Amino acid sequence: MSETAQSILRFENVTVTFEGDPVLRGVSFEAREGDSRVILGSAGSGKTVLLKTALGLIKPDSGKVYVFGRDLTALREKDLFEIRSRIGMLFQESALFDSLTIEENVAYPLVNQKAIHCPPVEVRPRVAQALEFVELGGTLDKFPSELSGGMRRRAAIARAVVTDPRLTLYDSPTAGLDPITAHTIMALLVKARDVTRTTTLLVTYRYQDGNVMANFRYNAEQGRLEPARNGARPQARTTFMVLQEGRLVFEGDQDQLEASRDPYISKFVKQRV
């Protein structure tokens, strides 16, 4: 991780409570341009809340969240739209709009985010390109209900990356998928990270996902993943974070994570297949 790289996302002592119950407790970290961060944690540890807070969908009770240098906690909802237009988000349930076709779903951010300024004639080619990227070129006219779970997840990835965001947030992208489909999805995320050179936050409870993110890179010439510790660029590093009951209990690289003797942290590493 380069210390000179621009700060993309910074949490400063962020606390979020739901009906009095703390969901995030004093979380602080910083992701710089080009970083990959893998956030591990068991169910209910606050992973999804952390991503939604980074996107400004949830306002913290205390602390500051800086995205591209701007404090989200001080902005009104309509002012957040400009910042969100530079962030891609894959939701846990894909969150494709049921009433829209896959083409309309992927086109949605291009059409509705004013800050993107996408001319109408460019919308369809960009949508087609994004769907080709996730190998779903023939699904433009289909509705989400006509696709399998894995295909819906890939369509949602296309929607997340169609705007070429500088920061991409993935919420449990492999949850509920079979191992082969899960690997396909992870390969797409590494490809998206290395092709668009975006800062990436990956929330997952599967250590294998983080392992792929940290140890593989996308070879554009051969069109497939290849082993490469520390991702695509030598200066970029994958950082692991572990959340436990809303607290950030670990932040470090894969070697440090694997060396940890903390029972909660080592539980994730033992999942490794």
Residue 231: which residues within 8 A CB-CB, separation 6 or more?
Answer: 36, 190, 193, 194, 213, 214, 216, 217, 237, 238
CB of 137 to another protein, least distance (A): 22
| Residue 255 DSSP code | H
Rounded CA separation 147/144 (Å): 5
Contact 228, 215 (CB under 8 A): yes
CB of 50 to another protein, least distance (A): 14
Q: Of 118 and 187, which has the nearer Cβ to another protein?
A: 118
CA dist 155 to 143, 150, 181, Å? 11, 9, 13
Q: Of 160 and 242, which has the nearer Cβ to another protein?
A: 160
CB of 228 to another protein, least distance (A): 31
| Residue 103 DSSP code | H
Closest to 177 measured CA to CA, from 185, 188, 169: 185
Residue 63 neighbours by CB distance under 10 Å:
18
Please name the residue that has the structure tokens 């995320």.
189
Q: Of 91 and 240, which has the nearer Cβ to another protein?
A: 91
Contact 103, 140 (CB under 8 A): yes
CB of 229 to another protein, least distance (A): 32
Closest to 200 measured CA to CA, from 242, 229, 243, 157: 157
Q: Of 78 and 270, which has the nearer Cβ to another protein?
A: 78
- Complete DSSP assignment for 176-218: T--HHHHHHHHHHHHHHHHHHT-EEEEEES-HHHHHHHHHEEE
Q: Of 109 and 246, which has the nearer Cβ to another protein?
A: 109
CB of 42 to another protein, least distance (A): 19
Q: Of 87 and 130, which has the nearer Cβ to another protein?
A: 87
Q: Of 51 and 182, which has the nearer Cβ to another protein?
A: 51
Contact 266, 260 (CB under 8 A): yes
Q: State the residues that interact with another protein by CB under 8 A.
A: 52, 55, 57, 77-78, 81, 84-85, 87, 89, 91-93, 95-98, 108-109, 112-115, 159
CB of 175 to another protein, least distance (A): 13
CB of 95 to another protein, least distance (A): 4
10: left (phi over 0), alpha (psi -120 to 50) or beta: beta
Q: Of 71 and 93, which has the nearer Cβ to another protein?
A: 93
CB of 87 to another protein, least distance (A): 7
